[in-house]
Amino acid sequence: MRRPAGYVTPVFCALCGAVFVAAGVAIVIAGNDLPGDLGGGGIAAALGVLTLAGAWLLLPGNPNGKPERRPVEVDGGSVRALVFPFVRGRFVAAAVCMVTLLAGSVAYVAVGVAGGMWGVAAMGVAGALLFGLPARTTVRRLRRAHYLALTPGLLCVEAPANRMNVPWTDVETIRLLDIDGQPFIGVTLRAGVDGPPRGRRVRRLNRVFGAHLFVEVRMLACPPDVLLDELDEHMRAARR
């Protein structure tokens, strides 16, 4: 099992992003208010913002975080649970990426229309159509918390792709998986139990690994070993 990516790549990306932002700002300040100067500086700054957000997404999970014992909403009622939160900063970084791409596309439309450059405007329209829905989706994800909650009777999942409450008696296995060089926690349900909603990637992973729920380790705000131990303990306790 390979370990999650370290800090070398995200730090390098962050430095590159900072250089792009600084260069973009310098071009705009030193320019002559010409469309080429403004456009070039704006593109460089936007690339810098995207690179900085990407660096945040590449960071490994928090190795020092701890789960929380607090109430969660389950089927309209409040239940005390052991909660493993996801790293909220990753959702913020993803939203920044998509919103920046959408804003850049809109800027292309404005510049193209103002300058009579219809090819540039068409590229902006295509970008707005491409990034509009992802931007809306990533921003909406910021409105609610994402976590795994463990109660004596249920495994509760509040994740971007999966929202479900599964009785521990319906869980078949819990194991650590290596997917494209990154560690994931895979939860397999008993035969005959309906799994969570699946996207294309989850269906492909299900065919390969047989699991129904996949949690990327670096999305967790705590060490994966702690979550694995608690998952195993709760599952065993429910079967006694």
CA–CA dist 178, 31 (Å, integer): 49
**What tokens does 119 get?**
């090819």
Query: Contact at 8 Å (CB) between 178 and 2?
Result: yes
What element of type H or E holds 59?
none
Q: How does DSSP assign 176-201, residue by residue?
A: EEEETTEEEEEEEEPTT-------HH
For position 150, what pLDDT does the model report? 92
Tokens standing for 52? 């900085």
Kindly write down the DSSP assignment for every residue of 226-237, as one continuous string.
HHHHHHHHHHHH
pLDDT value of residue 197: 55
From the first residue on, what is the mean pLDDT of each consecutive set of 10 residues in the chain (240 residues)? 51 76 75 56 73 69 75 82 85 82 82 78 85 87 86 85 82 86 84 67 79 82 83 84
What are the structural domain ranges in the chain?
A: 1-58, 88-143, 147-239
Given the candidates 1.10.3720.10, 2.30.29.30, 3.30.1330.10, 1.10.3080.10, the CATH classification of the domain at 147-239 is 2.30.29.30
CA distance 146 to 94: 14
Which is it for strands 147-150 and 213-216: parallel, antiparallel or unpaired? Answer: unpaired
From the number of C-beta atoms within 10 Å of its C-beta (0-12, 13-18, 19+), residue 55 rates as buried
Closest C-alpha to 94, from 128, 54, 136:
54
The partner residues of 77 in beta bridges, in order of sequence, read: 74
- Confidence at residue 190, expressed as pLDDT on a 0 to 100 scale: 85
SS3 content of the chain, % helix, strand, coil (to 5): 55, 20, 25
Q: Which residue, chain included where needed, has tokens 């294309």?
A: 200
